[in-house]
Amino acid sequence: MAASSPPGTDARRFAVRAHGDQRYGDRPYFEHLDAVVELLQRHGHPEAIEVGFLHDAIEDTDVSFEMLRDEFGDAVARAVAFCSDEAGPDRKSRKRATYARMRRDVVARHDWLQLAVPAKVADRLANVQACRRNNPELLAVYAAEHATFREALYVDGLCDSLWLELDALLTGPAG
């Protein structure tokens, strides 16, 4: 019997192809995707691995919601759409609209939130970890947004260990 591929292999392949030559700072973009998925695995959310790999596909590539739905199913596509920022003229406007939409979705208790929220929190945690190493200006932005981000996405009992690690990095001393 042939060995099966690790979970998320197709999603990773799809995301790497979609992101193409994009960079995450000075690194290939797939390194960020791998960091998000490593956090999901370490914190016990293997069900969200596909979303972890795909979380930026709608926002940062030519991939559409429909393409994701056709390839990975409705729940994954909705979870990735949840992770995507709304359009707007600047970061503050985009985040205000995005966090308001996320809060409405969280309050509605959609089934796919079990995939979306851990993936989005792992994404933010991976971003904060990277900023602590080499981008203190963006780290300050994440710290300033943290209370609003948490208020929008927090679901009691869902990905609490990811939240604990993120909270510690953003409220504790820099290092």
Q: What class, spelled out in words, does domain 9-171 have in CATH?
A: mainly alpha
- pLDDT for the residue 2: 47
- pLDDT for the residue 168: 95
SS3 27: strand
H or E segment and range at residue 28: strand 27-28
- Rounded Cα distance between 134 and 68, Å, is 32
Residues 6+ apart with CB under 8 A from 54: 11, 14, 15, 63, 68, 72, 76, 80
Q: Where are the domains of the chain?
A: 9-171
Residue 82 near residue 116 (C-beta atoms within 8 A): yes
- pLDDT for the residue 8: 86
Residues of the chain with pLDDT under 50: 1-2, 175
